[in-house]
Amino acid sequence: MRAILSCRNSSAPALAHALAHALAAAALTLGVSASPLLSQAAIDPNMAPRAAALERAGERQVATDMLGHYLATAQDDGKAWFQLGRFYILDTRDWHTRGHVGDPDGQLYLDLSVLAFDQATRLLVDSAAVFRTMVEMERALLFVEDSGWAAARERRPRGDAPPLPGYIVELGANILGSCPAQGVLLTGNQLETVAVWYASLDAGYRKDVLPLRPDLYSTDSVYRRRMAAELGVDPALAVRPALTVTAARRPICVGPTADSAAAPTGAAVVFRMVRIVGLRGAPATDVLSVGELLTSTRLGGTIWTREVLGVYSAAARSNPLLCGGLLLPLGGMTSRACGT
């Protein structure tokens, strides 16, 4: 209901859209689905794949509307709830790209995404809990844009999402632990970014390292202004020139999957899981470990252990020394990167 009330001032089409899906999600959350006035529809196993196909074809709005109407009665379709939550995350990211312009706003989209992922988690959908934590990362982004990283580390309101699997937190800690003191860490794909943000903000690793998302710096004017202030550079500069200026004062660490096109100009030193431009003084001395990942893979692993292995493999392609060190306990699981 809070999400519904927050969009009273929205334009009429956006308001109708937001209300329709807020009501559909709230039906189950508030127990309305138990009412005899609402009939339960049979689960359509093709609904979630159909919605995903529509989104890939550029019809996310159509797919979202379809899922909203469907879930108003078919509340036990966990895969459909998962897709709906994922669409709201994408809507939030589009709102950032538009410069935080448009109704509903990003916070409302995230509120709706929480409702959807909570239902998907209740229905034991694979990956729902991890994506629920991704929503908290998106909420943290709003806080960072408003108040900065230092405030986010100390005062950011924590959600009630389940914790990330230990091997994902371990990945984030290992990447952070590869960056020298006072470094700026460029993150790449979604998993790497979530791992680093969670390890930094929620697990409290390496408060001296500043994670930075080059994709957002290039597309989100609000994020760019905030992070330019953190870096002490002119926000009119594009990401690479801004980081080149910064590299004269503090080391820039390029994560395993980060886009090299965003890296500052200058010679890079490969160290542990990152490439460093502007290295001065001693590198990091944090102890790195893959114990959590090894335990999980021995128990059968999941889709996320395979994704985490992909990030370690990306690091090993830049730094083969990892194969005989940090990644040695994993054996053949990083065979493509390590040539074994």
| Contact criterion met (CB below 8 Å) for 189 and 128 | no
Residue 131 is assigned to a structural domain of this protein: no
**Residue/partner pairs of 264-272 with CB below 8 Å, 24 or more apart:** 264/240, 265/240, 270/318, 270/319, 271/178, 271/319, 272/174, 272/177, 272/178, 272/315, 272/319, 272/322, 272/326
Together in a domain, 199 and 102: no
Report pLDDT for 117: 94
Residue 76 is assigned to a structural domain of this protein: yes
Q: Distance between CA atoms of 116 and 84, rounded to whole angstroms?
A: 6
Together in a domain, 327 and 180: yes
Together in a domain, 170 and 70: no
Structural domain range at position 39: 2-125
Residue 30 is assigned to a structural domain of this protein: yes
Query: Which of 257, 255, 253, 256 lies closest to 315 in space, CA to CA?
Result: 256
Domain stops at, among 94, 125, 156: 125
Residue 135 is assigned to a structural domain of this protein: no
Helices assigned H by DSSP within 148-290: 149-155, 166-176, 190-197, 214-219, 221-231, 239-246
Together in a domain, 187 and 79: no
Report pLDDT for 7: 40
Total domains, the chain: 2
Q: Distance between CA atoms of 52 and 184, rounded to whole angstroms?
A: 36
Together in a domain, 94 and 9: yes
With helix as H, strand as E and coil as C, how does 2-64 read?
Answer: HHHHCCCCCCHHHHHHHHHHHHHHHHHHCCHHHCCCCCCCCCCCCHHHHHHHHHHCCCHHHHH
Together in a domain, 102 and 240: no
Residue 152 is assigned to a structural domain of this protein: no
Report pLDDT for 279: 83
Report pLDDT for 330: 87
Together in a domain, 318 and 228: yes
Contacts of 248 (CB under 8 A, 6+ apart): 278
Together in a domain, 184 and 299: yes
Q: Which residues of 241-272 are buried (b: 16+ CB within 10 A; e: fewer)?
A: ebbbebbeebbbbbbbbbbeebbbeeebeebb
Residue 144 is assigned to a structural domain of this protein: no
Q: Tell me the pairing of strands 252-254 and 184-186.
A: parallel
Together in a domain, 315 and 205: yes
Report pLDDT for 10: 40
Report pLDDT for 300: 87
**Residue 87 is which amino acid?**
F
Together in a domain, 114 and 179: no
Query: Which of 225, 246, 215 lies closest to 146 in space, CA to CA?
Result: 225
Q: Provide the 3-class DSSP secondary structure of residue 232.
A: coil
Domain stops at, among 101, 125, 149: 125
Q: Distance between CA atoms of 101 and 89, rounded to whole angstroms?
A: 16
Q: Provide the 3-class DSSP secondary structure of residue 252.
A: strand
Together in a domain, 120 and 7: yes
Together in a domain, 66 and 173: no
Residue 150 is assigned to a structural domain of this protein: no
Residue 137 is assigned to a structural domain of this protein: no
Report pLDDT for 21: 53
Total residues belonging to the chain: 340
Domain stops at, among 125, 147, 179: 125
Q: Could you say which residues of the chain have pLDDT below 70? A: 1-39, 335-337, 339-340
Report pLDDT for 339: 67
- Give the predicted TM-score (pTM) of the model: 0.87
**Residue 108 is which amino acid?**
L
